[in-house]
Chain A
Amino acid sequence: MDSSIPGESPAARPANPLLRVMDAVDRAILRGWRVFKSLKFGIFLLVLIGAVSVWGTMGYASNASLGDNQIPMARRLVFQTWWFASLLATFAIQLTVSTWHVTVMSVTIWWRREFRRFAAWYAAGGTTPRAVLSVPAERTDDVAALLRRRFTTLQRDDDALFAQRGLLSRLGPTIVHAGMLMVLGSGMARFLLHSQGEVMAEGRFIVAENEASNLIYEPIDEAQAIGGRNVTAREIPEKLYIRVLDFDEIQHPNIGSPAYFSSLVEIVDPLSGQVTVRQLDMNHSMSLHGYQFHQAGYEAVEDETPQRWNFDVRVQSTGERVAVTDAGANTPVRIGDTDYHMIVAAGAPGAPFEIFHRDNPQRILARGTVGGSTGAREFTFEVVQFFPNFQIDPVERKPINAGNEPLNPALQVVTYLDGETSTVEWLFADRELAAIARPQDPVYQLKLADIRVPADAAEVDFQKPGEVKFVLDVVRRSTGASLGQVPLFLDERSRPFAYDLPEIMPQTTGNPATGEDFAVINLGPAQRYLTVLSVVREPTTMFVNLGIGVILIGALMTFLSRYEALHGWHDRASGRFHLTLTPRWGYASEASAAALGALVAEARAKLGVDGELLPYTVRKARKEATESEKSIADPQAITST
């Protein structure tokens, strides 16, 4: 096999061994350059990559024993191996070299000085539209002026002309290739960064509504390949943590499958105190210090006691519904699709709520109390402490019993609602103190009605269970009417006491004039969800985006603009001026023939000369044209066909 470079003689090699080695290196580089710039090599690499990809999918896909792990295994054993990365890298090098080569060709053609030879080439190939004008050599200036109006660039060499237009189109493929290189290069960089642990592909952030976390879970490398469960955890940088305020799911009616789901989260920076609220759904992600959080899934949480409730938010003045939303205590939630957020202190009717605009959480637009039906609920009460002489310790600022004399009797009462602790409060015998004490329950108010001591007792021990009977009066707060009295002893629970409490009307202090008069009604307990966010860290994303942008720009340049080159020369033998129009890919089209026809017509009209289109071969392989080129020694010898 002859290894010499065409056009060079082996005899020209130097005699000095060192120089010969350097010469050999030079030749090897040149040969490598030639191999890599060739399209055939690029095609070979593409076919190879394609074949490996077929094997990667079908080879593993057909292995039924791999079950659901076919894709991870194929990834691990084919697509994420060093040798596949090397194959892609080789293709990237080929793309670089060929792109450089094509770019140099594209750019140099603008300043092509040898256009006489190329004119002959196209003319001899006969694959492009050709025409002749009866113009003498002295009127070449007139032809040049004609061409200048129709083409972007024009070069002249004596009586030969070379004009071009649509240069952006010529550069477009080069730019597309450059964009592809950026994408491929990013892929290579990702492969290297992944081996350094800088890439996170399968992270998970899993937190229930109302709760917060700063941990991202990630499968251990090998376990990840088989879809395993072994995980490691890492913290979100900068000590940030994320609280899930609300998970929202909309289902398709009657079939229960999700139509949409999203998470409202707040990112808390404990160092600066800054809180940012973001909404994530399957097509809207969130970026945080290089980590990208995506809504991936959810699960229902089985709570023993309700921690979230559904609230019906309406415009109070019109009764029109704004939205139904679920919320937990003290966690802000978005009201439907509006820009308003709401925060409720608790789920029970009567609990206070506040509504603010998303952009300014500090400015409360409306506040009030939640309405809703309380239904018939079972209350029990228990006196846990009794201070005959209630006082506040001035130092500790805590309640203390100053003596056994009943000078200022007060008792601490725990209220249980359906068996669960509901409120803890102090009740006073003193009317003034009782008046300023803040009732704990939004619906009823407890009052100390009586303290009954045994009539026959010489000295009463107020702290002895069963000794003193307390009578509590349960009063409806809205009307002041007594609902009934409850007798009980210290440290004993009262008998169950059921109050059929009617619907509580919501109260609000918003501004009806600005449409901020909201009424909030409790609809009952809501399902609490655990949201699953997938977390990835892809440091090369920006370059991929850039590469895709470059590809699109290159594609637009290629397809929105049409390149055409026109060669013209004066044939001394026939005394006529020859024109040949060459489109982008060197093959004629009806459009380019029409364009040349229009040029000839204009020359006839404006220069007052005869002209005609010459016959040409519609399609002819480039190879044949190249052979024709070799056979032409002197372009001036070409005569009209």
Chain B
Amino acid sequence: MKLTQLLSWLLAAILLAAPSAAQTLSDDDSSRFSTIPHSAEMERAIVSSPAERLVVMTDGIRETLLTASRIRLDELTGRTEIRGQDPEYTFLSMVYEPERWWDAAILPLEHPRVAEILGADGKWVSAHFVAANPSLARLEGSAAEAAKHKADFDAMTRRLNAAEQVLRLRDRELALSSLATEELPREAILELVEDPAKRRESLRERASLADKVAEEKAFLEATQRLFHRVSMVGGMRDHLVLVPNREDIRGDWFRPGEGTPGRGDEAVFEAAKRLDAALASAFRQAEPSDVPRAVAAFLDVAEDHPSYPPLERRAVKNAYKEMNPFRSAAGLFMASAVGFGFFFFFGRSPLRWIGTGLFGLAFIAQTFGVGTRLYISGHMPVSNMYESITFTCWVAMLLAGGIELRRRDGVAGIGAAILGFLMLAGASSMPLHDTRFHPLRAVLNSYWLNIHVTAMLISYAAFALAAVFAAAYLLKSATGREALFGGRPIMTLDQTEQFTYRLVQVGWPILTLGITLGAVWADVAWGRYWGWDPKETWAFITWIVYTVYLHSRMVMGWRGRLSAAACVLGFVCVVITWLGVSYHPWFSGGLHSYASPT
């Protein structure tokens, strides 16, 4: 394979990752940006104030004002910044002068039908444009109709589902009495059970409705999001939850001027009121000189409050958000892969050192990311899918780094760099993954999370690397060439196979341990070791594949393409267990649905 092909691969990967990096609402997005309010003086005042130390309770997490602002702007506009403005300034401007944002075209139109009904000619509209639109009633009517179609479809599905179950079971009478509800009367189920023609007709009807519902789902969701965003423009103040609460039953925080202070909270409530008044006055009179002093005065009181997170934690969190270490690591892995690629093509050692150095930098960035998330959340960063991918990637890179340091031939380096880039770019850009911190679900609030999930992910990391080596083995044996990319010869087939085997030898016992400990946790939490839940079953299937591979390799000396293919198949099973079961609607309803946040 030529270098040009390698480069085109890398370029394609960069282009794939590129759209996710565009997080700023820029001038190219719309021609209506003249309507966006901006006061450079006020922005300077906020940036120069210690506002970055303010903490806002955001979706159950104590976030810094910067992060909270980005979260809200993302919710409102789909972007974390507006036209290069400081997010904190934008957020506070929306809180204290919402009327100025009423005409700003910052709300994205996510569905062409919504744009068509509203008569919008661009991708962005203002809240005023939507609220005062003469076609608003038509849009609401269309959304209501789409919602009704969905409700009809769901009702029909429930009815057919019930009929099918009644037909499957021996005791139909029991099944009928067990399934019938007020919404789903017994007669309606019985009608489908007794009349096959009717059942077929309903199935046909549902199939035809399914297309319509799927088509309308995106429209309905886009409309609902647009209405929510319109309400957000005027209601941003609801999100300025910055008054800490010492201790009560729920521990809720408050907006300035709201709630009743508990014992000892009077001072911070008063300080919040003064800050609120100062900010309101500053925005109203465009007189920002008092803002830094007001913020500092509030922080003087608030930072003594026991519920306020320590300063160093806020600083680390801000640094984490600013650095975006996993995205940086993804870029560095990419560059490292290019360095190693050039090394294999030109065969010059300095190029390998460049690749190794970039790999090392990427690993440091990744380590910072994993360590920061561990420090901030107080538990192993494995509580949602984003964290689990980044953690697994970190373990895989640790293993690969060890191999590379020992062999120093760039083989493990290039394989791991490409794998690291793909994993981190995927984790950051997949829309299902939420990169934010989220409160831990009640059932995950256990030391078993640190043991069971961590063990599983370490094994996944070893299997991911093993799959890379197995794939290289298959590629090399298929082409019959020692040199994979047209450059210098790399690992022999035997060495490639040996690495695959060793990595599976590392991963398999850890996977076994992880599954076993998971069963013990299931017994503790749910009262049974094994329930054939999809996640459990697919973990078992994965274990079978690697058990077969390992035993046949160890005891029978089974090697070659089939053995390598088994290893790749094993990793496919890992991906199904890890991602497929969590995201694919086929596997919904299991007890392991923790991938999405609270």
Measuring CB to CB, which residues of chain A are less than 8 angstroms from any residue of chain B? 39-40, 42-43, 46-47, 49-50, 53-54, 56-58, 61-62, 64-71, 73-75, 77, 79-80, 187, 201, 220, 222-223, 225-226, 228-230, 250-261, 282-285, 292, 294, 310, 319, 321, 324, 326, 534-536, 538, 541, 544-545, 548, 551-552, 555, 558-559, 585, 618-619, 621-623
Residues of B contacting A74 in the complex (Cβ-Cβ under 8 angstroms) = 532
Identify which of A49, A71, A80, A201 contacts B533 (C-beta below 8 A). Answer: A71
Identify which of B250, B446, B545, B552 contacts A251 (C-beta below 8 A). Answer: B250
Docked-complex contact A282 and B175, CB < 8 angstroms: no
Q: Closest CB of chain B to A601's CB: distance in Å?
A: 24
Residues of B contacting A294 in the complex (Cβ-Cβ under 8 angstroms) = 525-527
Docked-complex contact B440 and A259, CB < 8 angstroms: yes
Q: Closest CB of chain B to A488's CB: distance in Å?
A: 39
Complex: chain A residue closest to B531, CB-CB: A75
Q: With A225-B169, A536-B528 in contact, is A548–B548 under 8 Å at CB?
A: no
Residues of A contacting B545 in the complex (Cβ-Cβ under 8 angstroms) = 50
Residues of A contacting B509 in the complex (Cβ-Cβ under 8 angstroms) = 555, 558-559
Q: With A255-B60, A261-B442 in contact, is A69–B165 under 8 Å at CB?
A: yes
Docked-complex contact B165 and A46, CB < 8 angstroms: no
Identify which of A54, A68, A538 contacts B527 (C-beta below 8 A). Answer: A538
Complex: chain A residue closest to B534, CB-CB: A57
Q: Total interface residues on B, using CB and 8 Å?
A: 78
B540 interface residue per 8 A CB criterion: yes
Q: List 7 other contacts, CB 8 Å, given A282-B442, A622-B557.
A: A61-B587, A71-B534, A77-B168, A228-B179, A230-B177, A253-B57, A541-B523
A250–B509 alpha-carbon span in the complex (Å) = 38
Binds A, one of B23-31, B105-113, B154-162: B154-162
A280–B424 alpha-carbon span in the complex (Å) = 40
A623–B521 alpha-carbon span in the complex (Å) = 43
Proximity string of chain B (514-538) to chain A, C-beta cutoff 8 Å, 1 when within and 0 when not: 0010011101111111111110011
Q: Closest CB of chain B to A404's CB: distance in Å?
A: 57
Identify which of B170, B523, B524, B547 contacts A46 (C-beta below 8 A). Answer: B547
Identify which of B57, B253, B521, B551 contacts A42 (C-beta below 8 A). Answer: B551
Q: Closest CB of chain A to B355's CB: distance in Å?
A: 26
Complex: chain B residue closest to A179, CB-CB: B516
Docked-complex contact A228 and B537, CB < 8 angstroms: no
Q: Which of B456-483 contact A (CB under 8 A)?
A: none
Identify which of B60, B175, B525, B540 contacts A252 (C-beta below 8 A). Answer: B60
Docked-complex contact A544 and B529, CB < 8 angstroms: yes
Q: Which of B252-288 contact A (CB under 8 A)?
A: 252-253, 263
Docked-complex contact A50 and B541, CB < 8 angstroms: yes
Docked-complex contact A255 and B59, CB < 8 angstroms: yes
Docked-complex contact A61 and B544, CB < 8 angstroms: no
Complex: chain B residue closest to A84, CB-CB: B532
Docked-complex contact A222 and B171, CB < 8 angstroms: yes
Q: With A226-B165, A253-B252, A255-B60 in contact, is A282–B525 under 8 Å at CB?
A: yes
Docked-complex contact A324 and B248, CB < 8 angstroms: yes
Docked-complex contact B249 and A71, CB < 8 angstroms: no
Closest 5 CB pairs of A and B: A228-B178, A252-B60, A536-B527, A61-B586, A622-B557
B498 interface residue per 8 A CB criterion: yes
B241 interface residue per 8 A CB criterion: yes
Chain B contact surface mostly: helix
Q: Closest CB of chain B to A3's CB: distance in Å?
A: 24
B598 interface residue per 8 A CB criterion: yes
A77–B544 alpha-carbon span in the complex (Å) = 22
B357 interface residue per 8 A CB criterion: no
Q: With A57-B534, A251-B250, A551-B516 in contact, is A259–B442 under 8 Å at CB?
A: yes
Residues of A contacting B524 in the complex (Cβ-Cβ under 8 angstroms) = 283-285
Docked-complex contact A39 and B164, CB < 8 angstroms: no
Docked-complex contact B57 and A254, CB < 8 angstroms: yes
Complex: chain A residue closest to B494, CB-CB: A619
A61–B533 alpha-carbon span in the complex (Å) = 11
Docked-complex contact A283 and B525, CB < 8 angstroms: yes
Q: Which of B416-445 contact A (CB under 8 A)?
A: 439-443, 445
A57–B168 alpha-carbon span in the complex (Å) = 17
Docked-complex contact B557 and A67, CB < 8 angstroms: no
Residues of A contacting B263 in the complex (Cβ-Cβ under 8 angstroms) = 319, 321
B559 interface residue per 8 A CB criterion: yes
B22 interface residue per 8 A CB criterion: no
22 A-B contacts (beta carbon < 8 Å): A39-B551, A39-B555, A39-B556, A42-B551, A46-B548, A47-B548, A58-B586, A61-B587, A70-B589, A71-B589, A80-B532, A222-B174, A228-B175, A228-B179, A251-B251, A254-B57, A255-B598, A261-B442, A283-B443, A544-B529, A548-B516, A548-B519
A71–B530 alpha-carbon span in the complex (Å) = 13
B448 interface residue per 8 A CB criterion: yes
Docked-complex contact B559 and A621, CB < 8 angstroms: yes
A58–B538 alpha-carbon span in the complex (Å) = 10
Docked-complex contact B179 and A257, CB < 8 angstroms: no
Q: With A65-B161, A67-B158, A228-B175 in contact, is A47–B544 under 8 Å at CB?
A: yes
Q: With A254-B60, A294-B526, A619-B498 in contact, is A50–B587 under 8 Å at CB?
A: no
Docked-complex contact B157 and A230, CB < 8 angstroms: no
Q: Closest CB of chain A to B462's CB: distance in Å?
A: 14
Docked-complex contact B439 and A229, CB < 8 angstroms: no
B513 interface residue per 8 A CB criterion: yes
Complex: chain B residue closest to A219, CB-CB: B178
Residues of A contacting B174 in the complex (Cβ-Cβ under 8 angstroms) = 220, 222-223, 228, 230
Complex: chain A residue closest to B439, CB-CB: A252
Complex: chain A residue closest to B591, CB-CB: A71
Docked-complex contact A292 and B527, CB < 8 angstroms: yes
Q: With A58-B586, A66-B161 in contact, is A534–B534 under 8 Å at CB?
A: no
Name the residue in A39, A228, A292 with the highest tally of chain B Cβ atoms < 10 Å from its Cβ: A228
Residues of A contacting B311 in the complex (Cβ-Cβ under 8 angstroms) = none
Identify which of B251, B448, B552, B586 contacts A283 (C-beta below 8 A). Answer: B448
Identify which of B252, B520, B527, B548 contacts A285 (C-beta below 8 A). Answer: B527
B554 interface residue per 8 A CB criterion: yes
Docked-complex contact A71 and B590, CB < 8 angstroms: yes
Identify which of A46, A71, A253, A285 contacts B544 (C-beta below 8 A). Answer: A46
Q: Closest CB of chain B to A444's CB: distance in Å?
A: 28
Identify which of A47, A260, A326, A559 contacts B442 (C-beta below 8 A). Answer: A260
A281–B429 alpha-carbon span in the complex (Å) = 37
Name the residue in B249, B253, B442, B587 with the highest tally of chain A Cβ atoms < 10 Å from its Cβ: B442
Docked-complex contact A223 and B175, CB < 8 angstroms: yes
Complex: chain A residue closest to B170, CB-CB: A222
Q: Closest CB of chain B to A327's CB: distance in Å?
A: 13
Docked-complex contact B494 and A618, CB < 8 angstroms: yes
Complex: chain B residue closest to A68, CB-CB: B589
Residues of A contacting B157 in the complex (Cβ-Cβ under 8 angstroms) = 64-65, 67
B512 interface residue per 8 A CB criterion: yes
Docked-complex contact A555 and B512, CB < 8 angstroms: yes
A305–B523 alpha-carbon span in the complex (Å) = 39
A411–B401 alpha-carbon span in the complex (Å) = 91
Docked-complex contact B516 and A254, CB < 8 angstroms: no
Identify which of B160, B552, B554 contacts A43 (C-beta below 8 A). Answer: B552
Docked-complex contact B165 and A57, CB < 8 angstroms: no
Residues of B contacting A39 in the complex (Cβ-Cβ under 8 angstroms) = 551-552, 555-556
Q: Closest CB of chain A to B67's CB: distance in Å?
A: 15
Identify which of A64, A77, A623 contacts B557 (C-beta below 8 A). Answer: A623
Docked-complex contact B170 and A534, CB < 8 angstroms: no
B247 interface residue per 8 A CB criterion: yes
A69–B512 alpha-carbon span in the complex (Å) = 29
Docked-complex contact A229 and B178, CB < 8 angstroms: yes
Docked-complex contact B556 and A622, CB < 8 angstroms: yes
A585–B519 alpha-carbon span in the complex (Å) = 30
Q: Closest CB of chain B to A510's CB: distance in Å?
A: 21
Q: With A46-B544, A555-B512, A621-B557 in contact, is A258–B161 under 8 Å at CB?
A: no
A551–B543 alpha-carbon span in the complex (Å) = 15
Docked-complex contact B442 and A201, CB < 8 angstroms: no
Docked-complex contact B175 and A222, CB < 8 angstroms: yes
A449–B556 alpha-carbon span in the complex (Å) = 104
